[in-house]
Amino acid sequence: MSSNVIGIGARPLRKEDRRFLTGRGNYVADIKRPDMVVGVFVRSPHAHAVIKSIDADAALAMPGVLKVVTGEDLKAAGIGGLPCGWGITGKDGLPMKEPPHPALAQGKVRHVGDPVAFVVAETTEQARSAAETIVVAYQALPAVVGVLDAIKADAPLLFDDVPNNLCCDWALGDRAATDAAFRKAAHVARISLVNNRLVGNPMEPRAAIAEYNSATDHYTLWSTSQFPHVVRLLMGAFVLNIPQQKLRVVAPDVGGGFGVKQFHYAEEAVLTWTAAKVGRPIKWVCERSEGFVSDAQGRDHVTEAELALDEHGKFLGLRVNTIANIGGYISTFGPNIPTNLYGPLLAGVYLTPAIYCEVKVVFTNTVPVDAYRGAGRPEATFVLERLVDVAAGELGIDRAEIRRRNMIPKEAYPYQTPVMVEYDSGDPKGCLEKALAIADWAGFPKRKAASASHGKLRGIGLSTYVEACGLAPSRIAGRLGARGGLYESATVRVHPTGQITVLIGTHNHGQGHETTYAQIVCEKLGVPFENIDIVYGDTDKVQFGMGTYGSRSLVVGGAALSKASDKVILKGKKIAAHLLESSEQDIEFEAGEFKVAGTDRKKAFADIALAAYVPHDYPLEVLEPGLEEQAYYDPVNFTYPGGAHIAEVEIDPETCIVSLLNYAAVDDVGTVINPMIVEGQLHGGIVQGIGQALFENCIYDDVSGQLLSGSFMDYCMPRADNLPRMTVATHSTPCTHTPMGVKGCGEVGTIGSPAAVANAVVDALAHLGVNHVDMPATANRLWRIIKSSSLQQAAE
């Protein structure tokens, strides 16, 4: 066994770091192809308008301009609209309304930023100048941006054949049982809330380069994608009609995704189609302000919810009514997020016996809404955990205590919830107690008094959560409307010298896969850590894969890798049996060596690899040369990470600025492969949730539909000086159905944190009779709340 076996649970430093630290990363915008030209999109300045005409004559006459493409050109070429990967069914049994989503607007624009034309020129300056001269005659129409307005009878309609702008009226749960639970309730707690719209904003803006080789009729697309194989499938088969073997999609180094880069975007298809027409590679790099009006956005719910409790504070039933904004078009996974990834999470970590949830999915004149880190699950957690706090306040029960009384005990797993999912494992109470201890929940009154003595309002807030991730068991996903499978694949290619290349269908854009996956192979095969390389992100290299989203890479991809490694061992045993003149059943594999059981006869892993590729004395009739194994893994269930988060804030009543002072998180992510990487994922996820709770808000003007928060000057991203030092810990119960017991950790931080922070803010204001504060809890919002509460108290 090599001394440098770095297996599961170790914290090796990341393999991928050195290229990023030295400026040698290879992001799409860094790539230059020979003879490359530049593309720029002309986008709608209107939220809702009819396109009367497009005049590009002046642009085409300008120096360096090679091509202008419009929606009519694509239509004439028979180019299809962008497909949706997930169709949902309404409570009436009918499929969702699925109007076409043309790659370039046809006839009408439906949000500010809707792409209308594409200009290609020799240089960026020429393309930009030409784009400015394109005259689009619009007939502006009334716009609607909020979901409550969109479903009004007199609301402007985005699509003539979609009445009330209603994409789908969806429901989950047992309505009659829930009604019955409310009839016998001793108390009903109610809340109305908004889950604010967010912009994902990975630091690398989207970008793409498309190239066509007329000699081989072969297309290549470099794209900032979280799932290049899915882009190849969706774009090749459903939009451009390019045979899969003629289309290569490469997602090289990608600078963060968070869901924003897991969709098939219009720009990818327009570039690829146009590259063949122009006959030269075309590059498009999204500007940040352009990303604000074209990257799919997240959240945006309006919800009313009620919790029925008995006289002891036990939850009897939960009723949730949500209206979810899906934007101006259906994005790749759009309809799935506020439904299948939301309703089934409403049980949380509680024993609530009856739950009923209705979700109206609604079109508006805004950028399409789709998955953003957490995707549906932070929204569900926010509803539930805010409501539990309201109930605790009304019943006078301690907020930790009301949760304890209702938690699913560790012994009750596997636990079937009333909303479809069956949790395999978990220990919510263990997470809660550990978090309470780390946050010194018991010592809070003393700290509150200390703050009060300085004239500050201090609050502490708690949120538990559970999420469903490891997307996804294909059988379940198929029943829920997924139009594809959600397995993952991995190939373990053992070279003749014993080193290993892994080819895997997930995509690494910050998660540290090159390190974590190498640890898995190290653990399995006993091969030195430095002898293992991970390859991903290129459809010409990697077999197939569904990519990275939904905290699935380790859970599904890692499991495929584990399975492929097992196959390598199995074949290695056959080779060893031949070399050691033994029977296959007598060969044991341990610590990188194949041994004949009970003897000292053995072969090192590298010797077996060499023999596999130098088969001079090989039983070819029973054994093929080579040592390369591939596995596909499709999970049998979702995984269910969970945990408890606690935030502590201080509000200055003079400025109404919220300072986040402490943050503690205890998360059950199952088996931890690399604690360093898991901690990093938790930190980042938590801060995105803190961003939602305190800073970030995507706002459209109600009347014009203009995006008001369209740059980093207006959309407040969390910065280093807004944040305290966080304490993160894990409390793991291994998943019972994944090979290594892993559950996934990419999204947990973002799911637990918004409610924890919001609950802390409300706690700080509880003495004013405040029982809810919508996110983000900005100084302006708090000033209004504090002002109106004081006026109200003065009046009383």
Partner 1 sequence: MNVSFVLNGKQVSVDVEPATLLCDLLRETLRLTGTHVGCDTSQCGACVVHVDDSSVKSCTLLAVSVDGTRVTTVEGLGKPDSLHPMQLAFHENHGLQCGFCTPGMLMSSIEFARCHPNPTEADIRHWLEGNLCRCTGYQNIVNSVLRGTAAMHAQGGV
Q: How far apart are CA 141 and CA 158, in angstroms?
A: 10
Contact between 601 and partner 1 (CB under 8 A)? no
Q: Binding string to partner 1 for residues 728 to 757, with x set by CB under 8 A, is what?
A: ---------------------x--------
Q: Does 295 bind partner 1 (CB under 8 A)?
A: no
Can you tell me whether residue 454 is helix, strand or coil?
coil
Q: How many whole angstroms separate alpha carbon 594 and alpha carbon 609? A: 11
Q: Which of 176, 620, 713, 795 binds partner 1 (CB under 8 A)?
A: 713
Residue 412 within binding range of partner 1, rule CB under 8 A = no
CB 275 within 8 A of CB 37: no
Beta bridge partners of 139: 50
- 253 contributes a contact to partner 1 by CB under 8 A: yes
Q: Which residues pair with 309 in a beta bridge?
A: 187, 315
- Shortest Å distance, C-beta 112 to partner 1: 17
What is the amino acid identity at position 492?
V
Q: Which stretch binds partner 1 (CB under 8 A): 90-98, 422-430, 598-606, 682-690?
A: 682-690
512 sits near partner 1 (criterion: CB under 8 A): yes
**Where does 421-487 show beta strands of DSSP type E?**
422-423, 457-466
Stretch that binds partner 1, among 40-48, 84-92, 455-463, 678-686 (CB under 8 A): 678-686
Q: Which is nearer to partner 1, 512 or 643 (CB)?
A: 512
Beta strands in 37-107 (DSSP E): 37-43, 49-55, 65-70
Structure-token pair, residue 136: 């689009």
Among 294, 506, 511, 582, which residue interacts with partner 1 (rule: CB under 8 A)?
511
Residue 443 binds partner 1, judged by CB under 8 A: no
- 616 makes contact with partner 1 (CB under 8 A): no
Q: Identify the residue among 259, 684, 705, 744 touching partner 1 (CB under 8 A).
A: 684
**Residue 40 beta carbon to partner 1: minimum distance, rounded to whole angstroms:** 14
In DSSP terms, which residues pair with 589 in a beta bridge? 594
Question: DSSP strand E in 520-564: where?
Answer: 532-535
The rounded distance, in Å, linking the Cα atoms of 311 and 623 is 70
Query: How many binding residues for partner 1 (CB under 8 A)?
Result: 55
Among 712, 788, 792, 793, binds partner 1 (CB under 8 A): 712
Q: What angle do CA 712, 718, 719 make, to 5 degrees?
A: 90
The answer to whether the CB of 210 falls within 8 A of the CB of 274 is yes
- Cis peptide, bond prior to residue 777, ω within 30 of zero: no
Q: What is the closest distance, in whole angstroms, from the C-beta atom of residue 729 to partner 1 in the complex?
A: 14
Which string of DSSP letters, residue by residue, matches 256-271? --TTTTSS--HHHHHH
Can residue 10 be called a binding residue for partner 1 (CB under 8 A)?
A: no
Closer Cβ to partner 1, 259 or 328, answer by number: 259
Q: Which of 2, 6, 16, 259 binds partner 1 (CB under 8 A)?
A: 16
Site string for partner 1, 633-672 (x = CB under 8 A): ----------------------------------------
Of the listed pieces 167-175, 506-514, 565-573, 784-792, which binds partner 1 according to CB under 8 A?
Answer: 506-514
| Cβ at position 662, least distance to partner 1 in Å | 13
Q: How far apart are CA 633 and CA 504, in angstroms?
A: 12
Of 606 and 690, CB closest to partner 1: 690
Kindly tell me which residue out of 89, 133, 164, 289 binds partner 1, with binding defined by CB under 8 A: 289
Residue 368 CA from chain centroid, whole number: 15
Of 265, 286, 267, whose CA–CA distance to 202 is shortest? 286
Q: Confirm or reject binding of residue 708 to partner 1 (CB under 8 A).
A: no
* Interaction residues for partner 1, span 58-117 (CB under 8 A): none
| Cis peptide, bond prior to residue 718, ω within 30 of zero | no
Residues 471-500 that bind partner 1 (CB under 8 A): none
401 is written with which tokens?
């205590």
Q: Using CA atoms, how far apart are residues 643 and 464, in angstroms rounded to an integer?
A: 6
CA dist 403 and 441 (Å) reads 14
Closest to 551 measured CA to CA, from 691, 420, 685, 727: 685
Residues 190-209, one symbol each (x = binds partner 1 by CB under 8 A, - = not), give: -----------xxxxx----
Q: Which residue ranges make up the site for partner 1 (CB under 8 A)?
A: 13-14, 16-25, 27, 29-30, 32, 201-205, 253-256, 258, 287-289, 509-512, 676-677, 679-680, 683-688, 711-713, 717-721, 723, 725-726, 749
